[in-house]
Amino acid sequence: MERVLIKDAPKHIGEVVKLCGWVNVRRDHGKLVFLELRDRTGTVQAIILPDAPEAIEAAHDVRPQFSLMVEGLVKERPGKAQNVEQTTGNIEIEVKSLSVLAAPSVELPIDVSQTEMGLQLDTLLNYRTLALRNAKIGAIFQIYSELLAAYESAMRSAGFLEIKTPKILEAATEGGANFFKIDYFERVAFLAQSPQFYKQAGMSAFERVFEIGTVFRAEPHFTTRHVNEYTGFDAEMGFIESMEDVMAALEEAMFAMFEHIGKTCQEALALHEASVPERMAIPRIRLTEALEILKAEYGKEVEDQDIDSEGERLICEYVKKKYGSDLVFLTHYPTHLRPFYSMPSPEDPAYTETYDLLFRGVEIASGGQRIHDPKMLEEQIRNKGLNPDDFKDYVDIFRFGTPPHGGWGLGSERIIQRILDLGSIKEAVLYPRDVKRLAP
């Protein structure tokens, strides 16, 4: 008998089918045994009646997280009038035979059967593999899977070519100190802080490129929105007229992802009482104007012409009230705050043609127009106190005739964190890595 997935079981009412899955919950009512069985597609209630003594005997020691194979009759559920708990749909499986495929060899350290487990984040991460079996935690990664698919689809639809760039580099991507050094045979190498240089090189050949790839940042943060290894959604596009072209492309990609998740993840979103933003034009506000708004509306002043996490939260609050938008572009960041490859603004080189995209109080993306003139690029590298010789391979890209271009780096896990209003970004990372955590 071929296995039937739980989601397809309603098509087989009146038939005997074979199901495989994990036990979420076991309940005994007199001589009846009820098992809530879960596979990758859903859950169903399996009932073992006294007239199936071999199945009763096989289920004697079955407990939560046992892996089972059951064969049974698919029946419509009789309802509460016959004292059946309505928790797992409109059908049930009347078990004829049962086999234990695998059993926990230790006492389970956490109970994942409850929607709300009420455990500390460190506990959930320490027992991550088991915690992922919880319905609400599992829903995070069902949504994340659809986010990955949606970004790829949106970019391909917009004419972007998918590339994969090196993560072991000869030089740190953006200079500074926020990089991981590694031993590379008899040399020192660096883990990629971003695919910036290589996606620009890819753009110079293919015009539009994107990548879904790992990013490493050696930043000693202890915040709810930073990890040291994350998955970036990157893109670069050529022949732009201004950074507005780049923002427009990112805006379209964002709403394509939101709409896909809204259509495919309704049950998972409902577990978190979450929703995705509706499509609308994302407001654009210059950073200098945003800082003036913070001062006028909230009495908040910032240092160094920059905006901090509280400022991001407040400006999103302001934009939500004024425009009804969950997202906002902050544009034209000061030159001293941006990487050396950022295009200076024509009207004032103290500012750049760059932006951040904020979503429900948190920055999720950064991007803008890049410098495509090699002489200007070398000058900006020197202005940052760096040596152009250390970036020769990068600068050489632009000696072969590279068009005006721009792009973005988008933190995928932050999107999930903000959609679901998770307390920490670590909840949106399958196995997070931070300053203290290298396992599991």
pLDDT tens string, the chain, 440 residues long: the values are: 999 999 999 999 999 999 999 999 999 999 999 999 999 999 999 999 999 999 999 999 999 999 999 999 999 987 643 444 445 578 999 999 999 999 999 999 999 998 888 899 999 999 999 999 999 999 999 999 999 999 999 999 999 999 999 999 887 766 556 889 999 999 999 999 999 999 999 999 999 999 999 999 998 888 888 999 999 999 999 999 999 999 999 999 999 999 999 999 999 999 999 999 999 999 999 999 999 999 999 999 988 888 999 999 999 999 999 999 999 999 999 999 999 999 999 999 999 999 999 999 999 999 999 999 999 999 999 999 999 998 898 999 999 999 999 999 999 999 999 999 999 999 999 999 999 999 99
Catalytic-residue membership of 217: yes
Please name which of 10, 40, 8 lies closest in space to residue 139, comparing C-alpha atoms.
Answer: 40
Looking at the structure, tell me whether residues 97 and 134 fall in a common domain: no
Query: Do the domain assignments include residue 259?
Result: yes
Residues spanned by the domain of 160: 130-428
94, 152, 174, 219: the catalytic one is: 219
Catalytic-residue membership of 286: no
Query: Do the domain assignments include residue 439?
Result: no
38, 338, 370, 414: the catalytic one is: 414
End residue of a domain, out of 86, 102, 118: 102
Query: Do the domain assignments include residue 116?
Result: no
In order of 274, 280, 290, the CA distances from 324 in angstroms are 17, 9, 16
Looking at the structure, tell me whether residues 59 and 198 fall in a common domain: no
CA distance 114 to 108: 14
The residue written with tokens 């896990």 in the block is: 413
Preceding amide of 283 cis, omega within 30: no
End residue of a domain, out of 83, 102, 121: 102
Contacts of 166 (CB under 8 A, 6+ apart): 192, 198
- Residue 39 near residue 19, CB atoms below 8 Å: yes
Catalytic-residue membership of 366: yes
CA distance 147 to 399: 37
Catalytic-residue membership of 360: no
Catalytic-residue membership of 219: yes
CA distance 362 to 433: 20
Model-level pTM?
0.93
Contacts of 37 (CB under 8 A, 6+ apart): 6, 19, 21, 22, 23, 24, 43, 44, 45, 46, 68, 70, 93
Query: Do the domain assignments include residue 440?
Result: no
Query: Do the domain assignments include residue 122?
Result: no
Please name which of 358, 286, 282 lies closest in space to residue 323, comparing C-alpha atoms.
Answer: 282
Looking at the structure, tell me whether residues 419 and 287 fall in a common domain: yes
CA distance 163 to 152: 11
Looking at the structure, tell me whether residues 172 and 309 fall in a common domain: yes
DSSP label at residue 370: B
Query: Do the domain assignments include residue 160?
Result: yes
Looking at the structure, tell me whether residues 332 and 241 fall in a common domain: yes
Looking at the structure, tell me whether residues 225 and 94 fall in a common domain: no
Which own/partner contact pairs does 176-181 have at CB distance under 8 Å and 24+ positions apart? 177/218, 178/217, 178/218, 178/219, 179/216, 179/217, 179/218, 180/216, 180/218
Looking at the structure, tell me whether residues 47 and 151 fall in a common domain: no
363, 424, 433, 437: the catalytic one is: 363
Looking at the structure, tell me whether residues 80 and 140 fall in a common domain: no
342, 345, 366, 412: the catalytic one is: 366
225, 260, 360, 370: the catalytic one is: 225
For residue 52, what is the domain's CATH number? 2.40.50.140
For residue 405, what is the domain's CATH number? 3.30.930.10
Please name which of 137, 168, 178, 115 lies closest in space to residue 429, comparing C-alpha atoms.
Answer: 137
Number of structural domains in the chain: 2
Query: Do the domain assignments include residue 61?
Result: yes
Query: Do the domain assignments include residue 1?
Result: no
217, 272, 284, 286: the catalytic one is: 217
In this prediction, residue 85 carries a pLDDT of: 43
Looking at the structure, tell me whether residues 360 and 265 fall in a common domain: yes
Looking at the structure, tell me whether residues 75 and 172 fall in a common domain: no
Looking at the structure, tell me whether residues 332 and 285 fall in a common domain: yes
End residue of a domain, out of 63, 86, 102: 102
Looking at the structure, tell me whether residues 59 and 154 fall in a common domain: no
**Which pairing describes strands 67-76 and 91-102: parallel, antiparallel, or unpaired?**
antiparallel
In this prediction, residue 71 carries a pLDDT of: 97
